[in-house]
Structure 1
C-alpha cells in the first residue's frame, strides 16, 4: 500500500483541463507542505499554479474542494500491492513504500491529515481513500492463507494490515522520529507472528457468517 497521503498521480495525457488540474493540485501539495493547512488559500494556490484565481474558484469553489480533489487524485494512482511470495515480505515491502513516502514529504502528510479535521468533505474523502487502500491490500492476507502461512480460520485482514503499518505512522508522523531502516521489516514480522498465533482470527458468530 503506497502511502494514501502521497497523492501525486501518474501523469497521463490530457487537454488543457487536465493540465490545469495537475498544476493546481501540485500547488496545493506544495502550499500544504510549506505553510500547513492554516496557510492554504485559494489565492496562494492560484498564484503558485500560475492559474487565474477565477478558474480556481469556478472549479474547486473553496479550500475544502481543493483538499477533496487532492485526496481523490490518490485514487487515480496505478498501483498494485506487493507480491514477494510471503506475507512477511509483502508487508515489509508495503512498509518500505510507506516509510519512503513519509520521509520524502513528512510536512505534507501531517498537513493533509490536519486539514481533514477542519473540512468535513475532506475528512470523508480521506476516510474513503484509506478504506479503499486497505481493501486493495487484503489480497496480501488472502494469498497468505492460500499458502498456509496463516491459520485456516478466517483472518480479519484489515486488522492485520493496520497492525503491520501503524508503527510507521506512529513513529514518523506522531513522534516525528528519524526513520529507522529496520522498522518496516520489524513491524511486518511482529504482525505476521501475531497473525500466525491467531491474534486476528475471527471467531464465534462472525466466523459463521
Structure 2
C-alpha cells in the first residue's frame, strides 16, 4: 500500500542514512550523515585545501579562513540538519577507510509533481583521481531515487572545472545546457554547464554501472 501524499511530504525520506561501503581506487568509500563532531576534520581539510576548493565554490562573506574555521561548522551543521529534518536536503559526509574525506549534499529538494533536487560535493585534495567523488555521487543519487523518492537530480559546474565534469559524466549525468553568468564564484559571475540525470536513465543504478565498468567494487 502506497503512503498518502501528505504523509510522504511531512516526513524526511532518505535522511539520515548510511550508504556503502564501495571499493574505489582510493579505498573503502562510505557515506554517512553529517555530525557536529566533524568540525575539526572539516575545518582542517578546507583550510589546507583553499587553493583546491575556492576557485569552484560560491563567493561567501568574509575571508576563507573565517568561513572555514572550526567554529563556523556548528551553525552550518545546525542549518543543514534542520533542512534535512524538513525533507529539504540530504547532507552527508564522505568517508574513505573510516576517515573524513569531504561532503556531498542533495539540496533544494522539491517534491509534489516535480521531485527534483541538485547534488553538490567537494573532496579532499588527497583523494583526487581516486574515484571518491564519482563513487559518492553514484551512491547518493541511487539513494535519492530509490529511497528519497526523487525523480531528477541536476548539477552545475563551471566549464573550466574539467575534473568535476569527468566526475559527473562517469557517474552517468548528461549535459543539458549552459547557464550564462549563473553564479557568483571566486568574486565574479561565472557561466556554468547544467548536467542532470533522471531515475529512468539509471537502469540498474549508477553504482551498478561503475561496478560493471570496473571503476568500483561492492564490499
TM (normalized to structure 1)? 0.31
The structure with the larger Rg is: 1
Select the structure that is richer in strand.
2
Select the structure that is richer in helix.
1
TM (normalized to structure 2)? 0.30
**RCO higher in 1 or 2 (8 Å CA, sep ≥ 6)?**
1
